[in-house]
Amino acid sequence: MSEQPWLSVIIPTYNGSKYLADALDSVVMQQDSALECVVIDDGSTDDTLSLVASYQDRLNIKLITKARQGNWVANTNHALLEAEGKYACFLHQDDLWLEGRLQNIKNAIAAYPQASLYLHDSVFIDEKSKPLGLWRCPLGKVKLISAEAMTEKLLIQNFIAIPAPVFERQAALDLGGLNNELWYTADWDFWLKLAAIGNTCYIAKPLAAFRVHADSQTIRRSSSVAEFRQQMRLVVDKHLPVRSNREVTKVAFFSTEVNTTLAAMVHGESANLFKLAANFMFLGPMGWRRYWQDSRIVERVSARLKAKLQTQE
């Protein structure tokens, strides 16, 4: 009987040949033979499947093929069930890992084996893999964050890039996995569920890259701005503690309005900037500081502006 992999890398794919080789190469670069890649394909019509097959001699790949469903969340949950690793993580076809990621994660697990979430910073990259800026977690230099502190910060904004966290696979399954109904906020909801059951171990260095490009699912599907807003509010409503800090509540709901406004502007819809500004003033100095620190608004917006400018050159 083969030894259980220590890590299952869940890779949902659909017509991903443009970027998928970069993602798989970044796993090969870790030089770790004790992991498995669970690739679940959503009915690709390009050469994604043959590309995956070409890595069979370099990676332990379990390939699951399905008819087109159009739901990366449901596919991710399916792959989590089929996986065998003690730990798991997600790697989307357009993202990638940086050198030394897995060794840093292993060191963190050895130092803090009871953590429910292992997390690090990331970088933004464009469609040509050029850096667009750093995507930091607002956690300072603290290595272990309590469930309460992590939840409060994460409610303000999902500052976690999808390729960054590692978690125990069984814990994820016990929590019900990701919510299939949330096409945009499923990962945010999932991180909050994991953060609530234990401490988060934070590695203050960028070890993964999140790609910003016009064909990403979040860009295309955020065109339904009303649904976009509803999904964000559902997550905040669900995870706000019963006795939540009043300031956290105000800033969390303000942050959803900022994100909705940005989505509307991206898709050419009108936005009530005067109302947004009034809501910002209502937060007061402490709320301003909390929003500025925890939302990572400058990093998120500047990376996307850089990506847009580079595509116009």
pLDDT, tens digit (0-9, with 9 covering 90-100), for 263-285: 888 778 877 888 999 999 999 99
In the listed set 34, 58, 93, which residue is the last one of a domain according to the structure? 93
Q: What is the dihedral of CA 35, 168, 134, 23, to 10 degrees?
A: 30
- For residue 166, what is the DSSP state? B
Segment 22-53, tens digit of pLDDT = 999 999 999 999 999 999 999 999 999 999 99
Banded model confidence at residue 313, pLDDT cuts 50, 70, 90: low
Give yes or no: residues 120 and 135 share one domain.
yes
The C-alpha atoms of residue 265 and residue 229 are separated, in whole angstroms, by: 13
pLDDT for res 1: 44
Q: Provide CB contacts within 8 A for 116, sequence distance 6+.
A: 147, 167, 168, 171, 194, 195, 197, 198, 199, 200
Same domain, 205 and 275: yes
Query: Do 25 and 166 sit in the same domain of this protein?
Result: no
Give the chain's radius of gyration (CA, Å). Answer: 19
Q: How far apart are CA 130 and CA 209, in angstroms?
A: 10
Check whether residue 104 and residue 232 sit in a common domain.
Answer: yes
Neighbouring C-beta atoms of residue 213, cutoff 10 Å: 15
User: For a pLDDT cut of 70, what percent of the chain falls above it?
Assistant: 95
Tokens for 275, please give them. 């109302």
Rounded to 5, what percent of the chain is helix, strand, coil? 45, 20, 35
Residue 264 confidence (pLDDT): 85
Among 104-113, 188-197, 204-213, 303-312, name the one with the lowest average pLDDT.
303-312
Domain end marker among 60, 75, 93 = 93
The reply to whether 175 and 312 lie within a common domain is: yes
Q: 211 and 79 share a domain? A: no
Q: Give the total number of structural domains in the chain.
A: 2
Q: Looking at the structure, do residues 165 and 22 belong to the same domain, yes or no?
A: no
- Would the CA dihedral through 151, 152, 158, 164 be positive or negative? negative
Band of residue 295 on the pLDDT scale cut at 50, 70, 90: very high
State the average pLDDT over residues 111-125.
Answer: 97
CATH number at residue 32: 3.90.550.10
Task: List the one residue out of 20, 10, 23 whose CA is nearest residue 46.
Answer: 20
Evaluate if residue 217 carries a pLDDT over 70. no
pLDDT digits (tens, 9 = 90+) for 229-254: 999 999 999 999 866 788 899 999 99
| Residues 66, 143 within the same domain | no
Q: Are 220 and 295 within one domain?
A: yes
Confidence of residue 20 (pLDDT cuts 50, 70, 90): very high
Q: What percent of the chain has pLDDT over 90?
A: 82
Instruction: Give the per-residue pLDDT at 307.
Output: 83
Where in the sequence is the domain holding 24, given as residue range(s)? 1-93
| Same domain flag for 20 and 168 | no
Residue at a domain's end among 42, 64, 93: 93
Contact predicate 122/210, CB 8 Å = yes
70 and 196 both lie in a single domain? no
Residues 68 and 168 in one domain: no
**Residue 221 scores a pLDDT above 60:** no
Give whole-number Cα distances, 86 to 35, 60, 90, in Å: 10, 15, 14
